[in-house]
Chain A
Amino acid sequence: DAKTTQPTSMDCAEGRAANLPCNHSTISGNEYVYWYRQIHSQGPQYIIHGLKNNETNEMASLIITEDRKSSTLILPHATLRDTAVYYCIVRVEGGGADGLTFGKGTHLIIQP
């Protein structure tokens, strides 16, 4: 079973910030939080990952709570092309021998 829980679906208005929550209350000390998204009929796309500090890249920001039991992915200015299923996954960084365990993810729908 996936070690994360996410809302099934969310709506967000185009141009607004999309905030996607994820709970990972059983995360281990050496596990990172990874975010991927999957646009319909495509392979998953890596977005961002982090351990305990907040992270930002050209796609998104990742906010991890101090106790690391939850996190939020922020898409600062959502566009229609951001409509996708977003997956929050915990994994040991450098866990090259392990595949990823996908939960059901959050279906984010950006409304025009």
Chain B
Amino acid sequence: AQTVTQSQPEMSVQEAETVTLSCTYDTSENNYYLFWYKQPPSRQMILVIRQEAYKQQNATENRFSVNFQKAAKSFSLKISDSQLGDTAMYFCAFPGSGGSNYKLTFGKGTLLTVNP
């Protein structure tokens, strides 16, 4: 079974600073996708960034970037120039394999608080 581990239950950062959230996963697949989703307080979950495992280049979306280490099965999210609106739960997610590649397995999440 595939597993996703987020070892940081909570983190905090000062506004405008950089923070990195960690995620490790386990899979026997060679080609797959990884996602970071954000769940703001009392609001719905939205996709932050996705990474394709066969691409060596780390994905970047504005202030969000990933550090994808395939051999280490590590997929961390870096948020630069943190803003108050970045305060949320962040989930690392990983689709199932083969015919079950539609369902996501989520980590337990990291609660990020951005302080003014």
A binds B: no
